[in-house]
Chain A
Amino acid sequence: MCICVLLQTSVSRAQVQDAVKTEREYRIKPELVPQKAKDFITTFEINRSVKWLQEVGDDGASIEAKFKYKGQRHSVEFTTDGVLEDVEIIIGLGDLPEDTKQEITSYFEQEFDYFKVEKIQAQYNNTVNEIINRTAKKLVASTLIPYYEVVVKTRNSGKKSKRYEVLFNEKGAFISRSQVSIRRDNILRF
């Protein structure tokens, strides 16, 4: 029985085919940002400046606005034409509902021998149709259901460390994961 469980665990771990995600972002001037995107960000009424970035990934290019709003780091992604794609808000592990946190933790414990959660984003990309043309105020006040994108550094015994972006639904059920390249940190260690 024990052997069966062990075999099943190793098979389920091995069966996951991890797509490797590559992304690159760089600052762009606000003049290059479509007016539609700037208009949406204006509704947040931010006192501090907004960082505009162009993100180039496997799925093509997009434009991203990064800023702090009500003490939380927001990242709003648009197509290069200025159409809203998603809104991401960085949160802490403690901000997750208790049941969701347990589900997510349990997934990591099952999949990896060691893991360290590096970042969690509440991601509103499953409800794009609902948030298009809305203002920030309506967005925050609405009852949109987030997905949670968790960046986690992991390692299994005898293997090298890997970093993943793992997507969970609002209840903490696993949806998908992709491997993210680990930037070398030898300049901080030697």
Chain B
Amino acid sequence: MFKFSSFILIFLTSTLLYGQSLYEVGILPEVNIGTKINALWNINIEFAPRFEVSEGDFKGTNNTDVFYSLLDVTTVATRTVGVDAKVGIGYLARFRDKDLIHRAIQQYSFTVPYFGFRLGHRFRTDQTFNARQKVEFRARYRLSSDISLNGEFIDPGEVYLKLGNEYVFSIQGDATDLEVRFVPTLGYYVNDANKLEVGVDYRMDSFLKATANHRFWINLGYYLSL
């Protein structure tokens, strides 16, 4: 845990000191509804509107303006393979202004239990189709963990910690980029069907070739399993 925190601190510090980095701050509420189709298939639908709050640079220039930015509606259907690995296909519809952006999703995920925490590995590829831009292809890997703060397992009525770290490599025409995400979250396990989460979804991109962009989303999540 200490090593992970130190890594984030060093990573952020070194990036902030470099050049005239820009930042954005926003709010990202998410409602995720999941249900079983049959013994092997599950489906999840997530509604995630975004509200932008402010933007600026780290030298003090700041512009605060709260407004609704977009709405993502994501549907992913997964099928269990082997013991507990899951393959999935999905579709995201992004509503921004008057535009509708389409994204096709393919993923493979599995979880590994340890004493007091679980690790979740997710490999995902997606393709984004926008009428005004070239198709964007992305390859993503996310490592996440839910950590029990009270005993070996997360039980109903308990608070838990969730840490996520994702790498997103994208290609659009001739342009390539790497985005890195860190998502520390505090969750409340109401029961197996209901979970509440609050955290920070930090994203950094453009740092390989230009000045880094930093985005901080205040993340408010609700997971409902039917």
Contact = CB atoms under 8 A, between A and B. Distances in A.
Tell me if chain B binds chain A: yes
Interface of A: 24-27, 51, 53, 66, 73, 90, 114-116, 118-119, 153-155, 158-161, 181, 183-190
Nearest to A115: B83
A184 B111 CA distance: 11
Interface string B119-134: 1101000000000000
Interface residues of B, number: 40
Q: Is the interface of A mostly helix, strand, loop or mixed?
A: strand
B113 to A, nearest CB: 5
A158 B39 contact: yes
Interface of B: 32, 34, 39-40, 42, 44, 46, 76, 78, 80, 82-84, 86, 109, 111, 113, 115, 118-120, 122, 144-146, 150-156, 158, 162, 187, 192, 195, 197, 223, 225
Given A155-B80, A155-B84, A183-B192, A188 B120 contact: yes
Contacts of B120: 185, 188-189
A119 B115 CA distance: 9
Contact of B39 (A24, A118, A154, A160): A160
Contact of A161 (B32, B83, B144, B158): B83
B166 to A, nearest CB: 12
Contacts of A116: 83-84
Contacts of B39: 158-160
Contacts of B113: 118-119
Q: Is the interface of B mostly helix, strand, loop or mixed?
A: strand
A53 B158 CA distance: 14
B111 A189 contact: yes
B83 A27 contact: no
Given A90-B115, A160-B40, A187 B152 contact: no
B53 to A, nearest CB: 25
Contacts of B109: 188-189
A73 B114 CA distance: 12
A189 B122 CA distance: 6
Given A115-B83, A153-B83, A187 B155 contact: no
Contacts of A186: 32, 34, 42, 44, 223, 225
B82 A27 contact: no
Contacts of B225: 184, 186
B154 A155 contact: no
Contacts of A26: 150-151, 155, 158
Contact of A187 (B42, B119, B146, B150): B146
A27 B148 CA distance: 11
Contacts of A118: 113
A153 B111 CA distance: 12
Greatest chain B CB density within 10 A among A53, A154, A158, A188 is at A188
Greatest chain B CB density within 10 A among A26, A90, A181 is at A26
Nearest to B162: A187
Contacts of A188: 109, 111, 118-120, 122, 144-146, 162
Contacts of B111: 185, 188-189
Nearest to A114: B83
B151 A53 contact: yes
A153 B195 CA distance: 23
